[in-house]
Amino acid sequence: MSFLSIERLTQQFPDGQGGMLTVFENASFGIEKGEFVCILGHSGCGKSTIMNILAGLAEPSSGVVKMDGFGVSGPSLDRGVVFQNYSLLPWLSALHNVTFGVKAREPGWSKAQVEEHSRKFLSMVGLEGDVVHRKPSQLSGGMRQRVSIARAFANQPKLLLLDEPFGALDALTRGTIQDELLKIWSGTEQTVFMITHDIDEAILLADRILLMTNGPFAKVAESVEITIPRPRNRTEIIEHPNYYAIRNHLVQFLGKRSKELAGQPSDGDNKPVTVRIDKTAPAEAEAEPEHAPKLRAVND
């Protein structure tokens, strides 16, 4: 059984005209311990809704989420969230936004311990010195995003949930923070579930990409393995024989098949189809792989 297993998750909302809108139905998928999974899908297909359910911030209409074999109910310190709009507390400095989380996680720690731990994680995302005493309103968008990532990582949750964490950033800042994220993640046992709209970002970061069809009645249709070894580097992965094959597959899906597959209600257990594209090992291509423990290394 997977570390995180999502079973027959269905979400309905009132559609505002007296009826019900089914966002997704019977979605089922699993995530292994230590895996980095990205989810791609068009706007409105229900990605944030799934993430809120995984975080325990919202209840699904039906279905269960299990982590380590136990049903998830309500939020927990074991599931850290980086919200799309950073959600820093504006009256606290960058440092205190992080200590806020650490204090909640480790009530027994001394003030000095909490602060040292928080500063360590802030410096991992490149925030050091006087900047940590600034309020969020005095930080740039990229800096706020880093504080938010530091806050989530400092709590060392088993599962990290990231909702379009780099959505508002320019390409350069994005690249730096992506590298920082990979660096922190690879030094831990953490599992990451990340929503993104950026195909290249997903290929760079993920072990596996989940693809969602358009809503309503959206499905997690495919699970695409990223068969590019780590450490990955944004300038070098494009040279890898698998890169364009995977990228084309994703573009095809989002551009065409997400529409074609959309809209049909079904009552089966909608497990995603595993897709493995590997040009380097033609004999194995398109085979259904067994989950092997993954090796990772730090990007540099």
Partner 1 sequence: MMGTLSENRRAALLSVSMLVIGLLIWEAAIPAQQAAGELTEYELLTGGGAPKAGVPPPSEIFTKAWEELSNPFYDAGPNDKGIGIQIGYSIYRVLSGYFMAAAIAIPLGFLIGMSAVAYKAFNPFIQVLRPISPLAWMPLALFIIQDSELSAIFVIFICSIWPMLINTAFGVAGVRKDWINVARTHELGAMRTAFTVILPAAAPTIITGMRISIGIAWLVIVAAEMLVGGTGIGYYVWNEWNNLDLTSVIFSILMIGVVGMVLDSIFTLAQRAVAYAE
Ligand X SMILES: Nc1ncnc2c1ncn2[C@@H]1O[C@H](COP(=O)(O)OP(=O)(O)OP(=O)(O)O)[C@@H](O)[C@H]1O
How near is the Cβ of 103 to ligand X at its closest, in Å? Answer: 31
The CA angle 89-44-60, to the nearest 5 degrees, is 75
Contact pick of 29, 36, 83, 185 for partner 1 (by CB under 8 A): 83
| The residue type at 7 | E
Name which of 164, 193, 190, 158 is nearest 177 in CA terms. Answer: 164
The CA angle 282-248-52, to the nearest 5 degrees, is 110
How near is the Cβ of 167 to Mg ion at its closest, in Å? Answer: 9
Closer residue to ligand X in complex, CB, 22/190? 22
Near ligand X by CB under 6 A, which window of 25-33, 42-50, 135-143, 268-276?
Answer: 42-50
Does residue 133 bind partner 1 (CB under 8 A)?
Answer: no
Other residues' Cβ atoms within 10 Å of the Cβ of residue 132:
22
Element (H, E) at 111: helix 111-124
Does residue 60 bind partner 1 (CB under 8 A)?
Answer: no
- Helices 171-186 and 111-124 pack at an angle, to 10 degrees, of 120
Q: What does 100 bind: Mg ion, ligand X, partner 1, none (CB cut-off 5 to 8 Å by kind)?
A: partner 1
Closer residue to Mg ion in complex, CB, 34/215? 215
How near is the Cβ of 156 to ligand X at its closest, in Å? Answer: 26
The CA angle 89-90-94, to the nearest 5 degrees, is 75
Reduced to 3 states (helix: H, G, I; strand: E, B; else coil), residue 22 is strand
Does residue 91 bind partner 1 (CB under 8 A)?
Answer: yes
Closer residue to Mg ion in complex, CB, 32/198? 198
| The residue type at 290 | E
Does residue 59 bind partner 1 (CB under 8 A)?
Answer: no
Near ligand X by CB under 6 A, which window of 44-52, 101-109, 110-118, 287-295?
Answer: 44-52
Asked whether the beta carbons of 95 and 132 are under 8 A apart, the reply is yes
- Helices 141-154 and 111-124 pack at an angle, to 10 degrees, of 130
Q: What is the dihedral of CA 134, 135, 141, 144, to 10 degrees?
A: 90
Neighbour-count burial of 2, counting CB atoms closer than 10 A to its CB (0-12 exposed, 13-18 middle, 19+ buried): middle
Q: For the chain, first and last CA: distance in Å?
A: 33
How near is the Cβ of 147 to partner 1 at its closest, in Å? Answer: 12
Does residue 43 bind ligand X (CB under 6 A)?
Answer: yes
**Contact pattern for ligand X over residues 3 through 32, marking x by CB under 6 A:** ----------x---------x---------
Closer residue to partner 1 in complex, CB, 57/245? 57
Does residue 186 bind partner 1 (CB under 8 A)?
Answer: no
Contact pick of 48, 76, 87, 274 for ligand X (by CB under 6 A): 48
Contact pick of 9, 23, 31, 55 for partner 1 (by CB under 8 A): 55
Binding interface with partner 1 (CB under 8 A): 55-57, 74-77, 79-81, 83, 85, 87, 89-91, 100-101, 104-105, 135, 137, 155
